[in-house]
Structure 1
Amino acid sequence: MYQQITNYQPYNEQEAKDKELLLKVLKQKDVLTRENEVGHFTVSCWVLNQNHNKVLMCYHKVYNSWSWLGGHVDGEKNFKKVALKEVQEESGLENVSFMSDDLFSLEVLTVDGHVKRGKYVSSHLHYNVTYLMEANDQDELKIKEDENKGLRWFSFEDALKASTEPWFVENIYSKLNSKVKDYLKR
């Protein structure tokens, strides 16, 4: 992963600054596991439909908002493997593919303290990499009840309206939508 992040070309100032931090923290102990309570690696997935005009979002129980799919790497060094597993587990979709082998985005995310599975989790950082993926919006979606309350395909604009996390909408989801438009022009 170190080489992938090293080779990654930042899209904007946020990604440039976050890339610097990600390269530093990759050298620390336990950043691939939740044992590092200050911060650890996660993957997120911006999943487009087959026509590339909608994005799949889940209604996340912890954040009480429509959000992208993804999860903790939990020690796995193959982040693409984690991304695929997370999308399949969180959506029930079996046929999901990567639109690129490269990282699509990267970010350092703050996570507020919350209760998960009956235990309090202190505020911490998610050192996140994002993959661009594709699935058929006609395939059946299945809610992962311990993590989300809903799954839905949104137009890019409606995805921004659906999320109740202003920082994510302004800094992450809007960026991802812009990057998708640029990516599809190629």
Structure 2
Amino acid sequence: MKFIHQIEAYCPGNPQEEADKKFILDCLRHQPDIFTRNNPMVHMTASAWVVNEARTKVLMVYHNIYHSWSWMGGHADGEEDLLAVALREVQEESGIRSVHPVTEEIYSLEVLTVDGHVKRGKYVSSHLHLNVTYLLEASEADSLHMKPDENSGVAWFGLKEAVEASSEPWFKERIYPKLNARLNLSSL
């Protein structure tokens, strides 16, 4: 499977990513239906860290379920091309059309806990998202539109302000700073 090779080739940037890479590979090899939500415990997701052309801002949405400004992304829902999933989710959630990968390589890996919640009137039990993040670029000139069933805001933030805008402790402390640090260190 091409996707397993991409994960295997990914070079973790910190201990969290090392542990999460091993966990994701184990799940890919041993868990059924991992690319669909039919597996109620663990499934693949894709996220995007969307930056402007100058790489000084990040595009975020105000997530209705988590009541926080956040990156964009979503479930694979049977699609094994997670870059395509990330691109689709950004377009759906922000209305932006001029978005493209800075690189097709994986930008970051995370195993994310999802607390039980109600979505579209149905209770969803707590589970894990095996998340692959991609670095995407979009134009600030493109028009933005909310997706009211998922978010109630779409906006560009400075890199530091994007972290501060989040109210989710794990993302604010560990995920978004890691993505910004990688952006500042890369020559992409």
> Which bin holds the TM-score, normalised by the shorter protein?
over 0.9
Aligned pair partner of 1:62 in 60, 65, 73: 65
Tell me the CA shift for residue 40 of structure 1.
0.3
Tell me the residue number matched to 1:158.
161
Residue 5 of structure 2 aligns to a residue whose secondary structure is helix
2:46: which partner in 1?
43
Give the deviation of 1:138 after TM superposition: 1.5
Equivalent AA in structure 1 for residue 7 of structure 2: I
Matching of residues 68-87 of structure 1 within 5 Å: 68-87=71-90
Alpha-carbon displacement from aligned partner over 1:129-153 (angstroms, at most 9, x marks no partner): 0000000012100101110000010
Alpha-carbon separation, structure 1, partners of 2:172 and 2:182 = 14
Matched-pair identity in %: 55
Partner of 1:112: 115
Q: Whole-Å Cα distance in 2 between the matches of residues 165 and 79 of structure 1?
A: 24
Q: 2:128 aligns with which of 125, 135, 139?
A: 125
- Show the counterpart of 2:20: 18
| 1:96 aligns to 2:99 (yes or no) | yes
Query: Letter of the aligned partner of 1:126 in structure 2?
Result: H
Give the alignment's TM-score, normalised by structure 1.
0.98
The one-letter amino acid of 2:47's match is S
Q: Does 1:137 align with 2:140?
A: yes
Are 1:4 and 2:12 matched, yes or no?
Answer: no
SS where residue 38 of structure 2 aligns? coil
| Structure 2, unaligned runs of 5 or more | none
Residue 50 of structure 1: how far off its partner (Å): 1.2
Question: Hey, what's the Cα distance between the residues in 2 that align with 1:124 and 1:79?
Answer: 19
Shift of 1:161: 0.9
In structure 2, C-alpha distance between the alignment counterparts of 1:163 and 1:83, rounded to whole Å: 20
Amino acid corresponding to residue 180 of structure 2 in structure 1: N
SS of the residue aligned with 2:60? strand
SS in 2 for 1:26: helix
Moved over 2 A (4+): none
CA deviation after TM superposition for structure 1 residue 178, in Å: 0.4
Q: Quick one: distance in 1 between partners of 2:24 and 2:37?
A: 16
Of residues 27, 32, 44, the one that matches 1:29 is 32
The one-letter amino acid of 1:29's match is: P
- Which amino acid in the other structure matches residue 161 of structure 2? D
Aligned to 2:175: 172
Deviation track 1:153-172 (CA, whole Å, cap 9, x = no partner) reads: 00011011110001111110
